[in-house]
């Protein structure tokens, strides 16, 4: 293997691991954060089209499958009430707000455990501090990944240009 091969491998590995990271990812994160803040600040009374939505209605309202809502229920993120006569799940205004937030966070690839912390903070205190912390953490992760991509691109550029790898390149 030539001395330039590690540069190529590093550049390709970083690029393959993070193809979704662009300037748009940061803007998307910012927009998602603003939308989540708006949902979190809504009073539960205004977030549902009608009280007592069934799972199919809520799924249609959110544009997700009922199975996604059931998974979120089984993981403890959603806690719908049950209609005593039919046993159907019903979601009140707070449940609809929570489902909207979960849906938005899942679209942003947040893990269920982190979503649980955000919802617990919102439910317990009414504060969106945990949400802000999660967004700040995601921003830091994006910055770290973008830095790794730039470093990988630099390795790849040096390889393509036929330059010898520097001592810093040998650390990768």
DSSP state of 22: S
pLDDT at 19: 46
Q: Between residues 14 and 49, which one has the greater pLDDT?
A: 49
Distance CA 131, CA 98 (A): 12
Distance CA 57, CA 124 (A): 27
Contact predicate 37/128, CB 8 Å:
yes
Distance CA 96, CA 109 (A): 20
pLDDT at 73 over 90: yes
Mean pLDDT, rounded, for 96-116: 85
pLDDT at 79: 93
Distance CA 169, CA 38 (A): 44
DSSP state of 171: G
* Domains of the chain in sequence order: 25-147 (1.10.1660.10)
Contact predicate 145/21, CB 8 Å:
yes
Q: Which residue has the tokens 């708006």?
A: 38
Distance CA 172, CA 146 (A): 16
pLDDT-based confidence at residue 9 (cuts at 50, 70, 90):
very low
């Amino acid at each position: 293997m030539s001395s330039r091969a590690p540069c190529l491998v590093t550049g390709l590995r970083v690029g393959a691991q993070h193809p979704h990271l662009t300037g748009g990812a940061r803007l998307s994160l910012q927009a998602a954060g603003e939308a989540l803040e708006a949902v979190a600040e809504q009073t539960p009374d205004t977030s549902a089209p009608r009280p007592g939505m069934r799972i199919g209605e809520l799924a249609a309202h959110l544009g997700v499958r009922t199975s996604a809502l059931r998974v979120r229920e089984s993981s403890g993120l959603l806690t719908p009430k049950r209609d005593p006569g039919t046993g159907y799940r019903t979601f009140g205004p707070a449940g609809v707000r929570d489902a909207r937030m979960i849906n938005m966070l899942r679209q942003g690839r947040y893990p269920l455990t982190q979503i649980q912390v955000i919802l617990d903070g919102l439910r317990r205190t009414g504060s969106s501090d945990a949400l802000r912390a999660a967004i700040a953490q995601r921003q830091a992760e994006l910055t770290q990944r973008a830095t790794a991509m730039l470093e990988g691109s630099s390795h790849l550029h040096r390889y393509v240009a036929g330059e010898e790898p520097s001592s810093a390149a040998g650390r990768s």
